[in-house]
Amino acid sequence: MKTNLTYPTVFAVVAGLYLTLLSLQPSPEFSILGEWREVSWEYEKGDSLLDGSFDYRVTDHIKAQLLSNLIIHEAEIWNFANTETLEMSGRSATQSLVWKLKGRGNILQIQRGDHATEYYQIQELSEDRMVLHFNFDMQVRGIVKMTFERINT
């Protein structure tokens, strides 16, 4: 009889506590909303500098080469709206895309109208900073780290 009561009680308490804690945490779907400005692009494998160190920053020339076939074409401002639309504006024309989060909220899926889809790994998402990792399939360069700062919510 004691066991019959203990098990449901423990399950109910753990489930209740779990759901309460989960409801107190903001979902990444909510945290990502707002306008973000691109601050930097950094390579996993950068070029060697004369003093033997690496230059992790991507030059504008390399960035232009990388972006030629990508959705995020020279966008500097990313605006995530709660209608799952993403407006990218910058030097190139403004384009409207669709964004979704996958996994446990750690994968950002960006889709264009012609069904071209890109996936970014969200490494950090705080109130004022967002860091995305993207693998460009350029093994020489590896993963690109894109850092953003929030302009407004």
Partner 1 sequence: MIRKYRNRTNRENVQLGALTAFSAGMVNVISVIIFFAFTSNVTGHFAILAGEISKGNWYQALVVFGWIGLFFLGNFTSNIIVINFHKERAYLAHALPIVLEICCLLAVGTYIQYFYRETLLETELMVSLMLFAMGIQNGLTATISNAAVKTTHLTGLTTDLGILTSMFTKKEFREKPELRDKMKLLLTIMTSYLAGGICAGYIYLTIAYNVFYIVCVFLLIVIGYDFYRTKVTNFLLEKRQPYYRKVIKDRRPQLSNS
By the criterion CB under 8 A, which residues form the site for partner 1?
14, 18, 21-22, 25-29, 100-107, 109, 119, 124
Shortest Cβ distance from residue 63 to partner 1 (Å)?
A: 26
Q: How far apart are CA 50 and CA 122, in angstroms?
A: 33
Shortest Cβ distance from residue 68 to partner 1 (Å)?
A: 26
CB contact at 8 A, 105 and 25: no
Shortest Cβ distance from residue 38 to partner 1 (Å)?
A: 22
CB contact at 8 A, 77 and 70: no
Nearer to partner 1, 26 or 113 (CB): 26
In three-state secondary structure terms, 20 is helix
Nearer to partner 1, 11 or 54 (CB): 11
Q: How far apart are CA 139 and CA 135, in angstroms?
A: 9
Nearer to partner 1, 29 or 74 (CB): 29
Nearer to partner 1, 109 or 135 (CB): 109
Shortest Cβ distance from residue 99 to partner 1 (Å)?
A: 10
Q: Which of 34, 125, 28, 127 is nearest to 77 (CA)?
A: 34
The tokens for 129 are 């900073």
